[in-house]
Structure 1
Amino acid sequence: MPKTILVTGAGSGFGEGASIGLAHAGHEVIATAQIAPQVSALRDKACALGLDNLRAEKLDLLDAYDVRRALAWDIDVLFNNAGIGEGGPVSEVPVDLVRRSFETNVFAPLALTQGFVRSWVDAGRGGKIVFTSSVSGLFTPPGYAPYAATAHALEAIAEAMRQELRPFGIKVQTINPGAYLTGFNETTADTAFRWLDDGRNFTSRASMRETYNSLLATPQGRLDPCEVVDAMVEIVPTDEGRFRNVVPQSCEDMLRRHQTEAWDACI
Structure 2
Amino acid sequence: MTSKRILVTGAGSGFGEGAAIGLAQAGHTVIATVQISPQVTELRKKAAELGLEENLRVEKLDILDAYDVDAAVRDWDIDVLWSNAGIGQSGPTAEIPVDLVRQNFETNVFAPLTLAQKFIRKWIDAERTGKVVFTSSMGGLFTPPWFGSYVATKHALESFAESLREELRPFGIKVQTINPGAYLTGFNETLAETAFKWLDDEKNFNKRAQVQAGFDELLGGDEGRLDPKEMIDAMVRIVPENTGKFRNVVPAFVEKMLHESQATAWDAEI
TM-score by length of 1: 1.00
Query: Structure 2 CA distance, aligned partners of 1:263 and 1:37?
Result: 48
Query: Structure 2 CA distance, aligned partners of 1:119 and 1:66?
Result: 16
Following superposition of structure 1 onto structure 2, how do residues 1-267 of structure 1 map, counting pairs within 5 Å? 1-51=2-52, 52-72=54-74, 73-267=76-270
Query: Structure 2 CA distance, aligned partners of 1:62 and 1:172?
Result: 22
Q: Percent identity?
A: 67
Once the two structures are TM-superposed, the CA of residue 259 in structure 1 deviates from its matched residue by: 0.4
* Root mean square deviation of aligned Cα: 0.4
Once the two structures are TM-superposed, the CA of residue 256 in structure 1 deviates from its matched residue by: 0.3
Once the two structures are TM-superposed, the CA of residue 195 in structure 1 deviates from its matched residue by: 0.3
Letter in 2 for 1:199: E
In structure 1, the gaps of 5 or more residues are none
SS of 1:131's partner is strand
SS of 1:242's partner is coil
SS of 1:199's partner is coil
TM-score by length of 2: 0.98
Per-residue CA distance 1:7-28 (angstroms, 9 max, x = gap): 0000000000010000000000
SS of 2:63's partner is coil
Per-residue CA distance 1:153-196 (angstroms, 9 max, x = gap): 00000000000000000000000001000000000000000100
SS of 2:266's partner is helix
Query: Structure 1 CA distance, aligned partners of 2:173 and 2:65?
Result: 26
After TM superposition, where is structure 1 displaced by more than 4 Å over at least 4 residues in a row? none
Letter in 1 for 2:209: A
Query: Structure 2 CA distance, aligned partners of 1:89 and 1:195?
Result: 11
